Structure 1
């Protein structure tokens, strides 16, 4: 059927959005909220919030020509344009040299180039409480499923 030198055709039943990329070109202005999966590259303007599922690998890229006036809630973001609003990057935030953020920046991992500007608070987000609790349970050897009973009798 298929040897190692031949590529298999893409499955028509695969509904994964991990490799999908959407482009909003320069000269395009969107008034309203945008929710996406996969990747979103913005060269234009969004007046509203930008969001993706926090448990996905979605990536939002804002070019040097792009602008967002509103909140950004994404797992991964690469910012090189203007943001007037708070940024919540659940996993990784990269601020390139032309980035200008007027708002608070919430991140787990931050990479910031010389020249990037933030006019607001920078807030480091630790791992989610559930993950920290689970790690603490593993370290102590006690799990939610463990039941410890003390009858009070010696």
Structure 2
């Protein structure tokens, strides 16, 4: 998947990390993180929270796979997968989402249009046609389509 630029970092099940994490490449969490998780600017990064993994803080990474617990808001610019044992207590900001049967979200699912930061406001108003008032929302969010995939 092209995540070799920053290598892979593992936070094992016997590890508890307190503080913010900024990374590139791939981050796998089996333990606990008490802090926010960010990808380096422009990095093609991925974070995966395993079944027993727990994050208390916000996550802002392009590609996110959750099969554990997150207590905070989740921001994904590319793709987010909520696996069968995922529990998110907070809002999920997504561009493309895959949600498996059994996943729980205790918060809102908020669609975010894919665009660069500089073009965000202009492209949202230009491409929205008659819905410009909705696209001009200061948060830059718009309600979008939710695709639910049930894997058996």
Consecutive aligned runs of 4 or more in structure 1 exceeding 6 Å deviation: 134-137
Secondary structure at 2:76's aligned position in 1? strand
Structure with larger RCO (C-alpha < 8 A, sep 6+)? 2
What is the match of residue 119 of structure 2?
130
Distance 1:72 1:135, change over 3 A: closer
**Deviation of 1:55 (Å):** 2.5
What is the match of residue 98 of structure 2?
111
- Give me the whole-angstrom Cα distance separating, in 2, the residues matched to 1:100 and 1:54: 27
Contact preservation (8 Å) 2:6, 2:23: no
Contact preservation (8 Å) 1:39, 1:58: yes
TM-score (norm 1): 0.73
Contact preservation (8 Å) 2:64, 2:80: yes
CA displacement 1:57-111 (0-9 Å, x = unmatched): 1000000010000000101000000000000011110000000000000010000
Structure 1 position 101 matched with structure 2 position 94: no
Distance 1:134 1:85, change over 3 A: closer
Contact preservation (8 Å) 1:94, 1:110: yes
Gaps of 5+ in 2: 127-152
- Give me the whole-angstrom Cα distance separating, in 2, the residues matched to 1:127 and 1:65: 31
Contact preservation (8 Å) 2:34, 2:55: yes
Radius of gyration: which is bigger?
Answer: 1
- Give the aligned length: 122
Mapping of 1:2-151 within 5 angstroms?
18=5, 20-53=7-40, 55-128=42-115, 130=119, 133=122
**Deviation of 1:53 (Å):** 2.7
TM-score (norm 2): 0.74
